[in-house]
Amino acid sequence: MSTETSHPRSVLDVDSLVVRYPGSPPVIAVDGVSLSIAAGETVALVGESGCGKSSLARAVVGIEKRASGTVTVDGRDVTPLGLRRRSPELTGVQMVFQDPATSLNPRRSIGAQIADGVELSTRRGEKTGTPGEWLARVGLDREWVGRYPHQLSGGQKQRVAIARALAAGPRLLVADEPISALDASTQTTVAALMRSLTTAVGAGLLFISHDLAVVRRIADRTLVMYAGRVVESGPTEALWQNPQHPYTRSLLAAIPAPDGAGRIPVAPTDAERATWLDAPVATTTQS
Amino acid sequence: MTATAARPSNSRGPRVRAPRGGRLRLPAVWRTPLAIVGAVIALAWVVVAFTAPLWVPYPPDAQMLPRLLPPGTDGAILGTDALGRDLFSRLMSGAGVTIPLSLMLVAASVVIGTVIGASAGYFGKWVDEVLMRITDLFMAFPTVILAMVVAASLGPSLFNAVIAAIVVSWPQYARVTRSLVLGLRGQNYVIAGRLLGHSPLRSLLADIAPNITGPVVVLAALDIGSAILLLSGLSFLGLGAQPPTAEWGSMISSALQNFDAWWIGLFPGLAILTVVMAFNFIGDSLRDALDPSSRTERAASGVVAAPKTEDEALKGTGASA
């Protein structure tokens, strides 16, 4: 199942990761996924809801316990996020959450929350900038440091969350559907901003989304996930032009065409779905 | 609602924003008549409590007037008691005994209760089990009975009565804090803090504490009244302030021996009534302002009901728990 070759400069290496939720029968949310992300690379993970994208993201940062497999960032094993203070080496893994409403503390000013990130990088001896500078970098007014999250819109909150994560000087940024709670006009700008800023600091970006149009614009490589497994992976453009796996094809076909005809994509039948599980894993190589 | 209108309208979408600021919105709280009445009475009593020795006409313990004078005679505004002590002087000095001690005991209960509750909620597992079973143990007994047991076993004195009151009042803070922390520790911003390498203490103080102060302050404000009642109650039973200390509860108790002298018991009773009601008004108004689930009346009077956000909903359950 190892479709990715371990890159020498890779910041993230995931090998045969399994995430299992207890129950009868237990739910296997992530079923032996392997992937790697190089420094400065943006990798998108797409798939329908319930396919295990978020579980994978949470297991990568250590919020979710993994049943088996390994996750390493810069060669260090990512231990589960416990109540104890996280070791400084692992603070290079940061996350941007799906819901901007809950990702910021409602009772603390956004400047103070970005300062948490700045403080972390300062402690490591890096200089990433002041909270005001970070606000400017994510396209907000640098005078807003004293504002509170309720004074911001969803998109602005998400920009603050991105600033907080990046101010920490991460090696890997995991974004779990960071744009799905935003409106269409904000989605692309926030996603592009995220990519440019993470690439600028040389961090890897694992971008989880079900918005294929946005993914096509920002991701270097795309992994398609279905039922807990990566069914297809490859350079974004190649995958887009020449999808191999039937599920990828149906995903791409499900994008509504802006031709004014008002056609709604046909939902796949159960019979179709059954065949996707058995189809061979596809790896697009040429771009 | 000028505060909301004055905010820069950078919010997108039709969502009506809650008029909640990062700080306590005291101006909105004080706008209700109940809050104003409560604040004025409470403030007056607090001023009396701290300044009474400077201006009362007689020393509270001096037996220098005729016995059992009815109110208004011979310069004794509220009359005298069975030992010829000026009731007005004793009443005013009594405020200086009851009110500061009640505030102190509430403060001590809040500190003990929140520390225990927050530890239980944040660390969970066996820490939670142990701490909450201890809390249950204290909660299992009726408040006054347990306080009586503690005060009686320590010996009757005002100091021991305060200790007894602290022993019975911290568990409710522990319970509320635990439930709030339990809900908040899974919030994304708390997880984000932990990813940034916050220690448990920092996580609790910086990420969680600002979000639980509101409900805990409300609870404390509502509890001041009951603390005063409990303390005077213990004194009434003879387990608190000892004679000749001027204390409202013990003053009512001594009135029982002179039933026909109605003024001896009535005025301390009124004093307790007004101060307890005043603090309860303040607590109620604070809760109305901070807890959207009890904001229905204000919504009816033209204030737009704010959509419940997750943490506010939590506060609601916390404050009513």
Look at A80-89, A127-136, B163-172, B294-303 and tell me which has the smallest mean pLDDT.
Answer: B294-303
CB atoms within 10 A of CB A286: 8
Residues whose CB is less than 8 angstroms from the CB of residue B274 and which lie 6 or more positions away in sequence, other chains included: B41, B45
B184: closest CA of chain A, how far (Å): 10
pLDDT of residue B11: 41
B44, two tokens:
């007056």
Pick B211's closest partner by Cβ from A84, A106, A109: A106
Task: Residue A154: list chain B partners with CB under 8 A.
Answer: 12-13
Domain boundary assignment for chain A:
10-283
Residue pLDDT, tens place only, B64-84: 777 777 777 777 778 888 788
Q: Please, where are the H alpha helices in A88-128?
A: 100-103, 110-123
Contact B80/B68 with Cβ under 8 angstroms? yes
CATH architecture of A10-283: 3-Layer(aba) Sandwich (3.40)
State the average pLDDT for chain B. 80
Q: How many residues does chain A have?
A: 287
Residue B310 in this model has a pLDDT that exceeds 70: no
As to burial, measured by CB atoms within 10 angstroms (0-12 exposed, 13-18 middle, 19+ buried), residue A95 is buried
Q: What pLDDT is recorded for position A265?
A: 65
Measure the CA–CA gap between B21 and B28, rounded to whole angstroms: 11
Cβ–Cβ under 8 Å, residues A100 and A154: yes
Nearest to A86 among B13, B197, B207 (CB): B197
The number of angstroms, rounded, from the C-alpha of A85 to the middle of its chain's C-alpha atoms is 24
**Residues of chain B positioned with their CB less than 8 A from the CB of A63:** 191
| Interchain pair A117, B207: CB under 8 A | no
- Residues of chain A neighbouring B197 (CB-CB closer than 8 A): 85-88, 91, 120
pLDDT (0 to 100) of residue B315: 45
Q: Which residues are CB-neighbours of B261 under 8 A, at least 6 positions away?
A: B68, B70, B79, B81, B82, B255
For chain B, how big is the Rg over CA atoms in Å? 23
Q: How far apart are CA A117 and CA A167, in angstroms?
A: 5
Per-residue pLDDT for B312 more than 60? Answer: no
Residue B103 reports pLDDT greater than 50 = yes
The tokens describing A230, both together, are 């990566």
What is the Cα–Cα distance from A87 to A11, expressed in whole angstroms? Answer: 17
**Which residue stretches of A124-235 are H helix?**
131-137, 154-167, 184-200, 212-218
Check residue A256 and report its DSSP letter: P
- Cβ neighbors of A201 (< 8 A, separation 6 or more) are A128, A166, A169, A170
Give the model confidence (pLDDT) of A223-234 as tens digits.
Answer: 988 888 888 888
Q: Which residues of chain A have pLDDT under 70?
A: 1-8, 257-258, 260-266, 284-287
Q: Which residue has the higher pLDDT, B117 or A263?
A: B117
For chain A, percent of residues with pLDDT exceeding 90: 7
HSE toward the beta carbon, residue B101, CA cutoff 13 A? 26
Among the partner-chain residues A103, A117, A150, the one whose CB lies closest to the CB of B20 is A150
| A63 in B contact zone (CB under 8 Å) | yes
Closest C-alpha to A155, from A140, A168, A133, A176 = A140
Is A282 an interface residue toward B (CB < 8 Å)? no
Give the pLDDT confidence score for residue B27 in this predicted structure. Answer: 61
**Helix, strand, coil distribution of chain A in percent, nearest 5:** 40, 25, 40
pLDDT of residue B297: 45
Give chain B's contact residues with A (Cβ, < 8 Å): 7-8, 10-13, 17-18, 20-22, 122-123, 187-189, 191-200, 206-207, 210-211, 309-311
Q: What is the mean pLDDT of residues B268-284?
A: 92
Contact B10 A153 (CB under 8 A): yes
CA A252 to chain B, closest CA, distance in angstroms equals 30
Q: Is the torsion defined by CA of A154, A156, A160, A166 positive or negative?
A: positive
Q: pTM of the full predicted structure?
A: 0.77
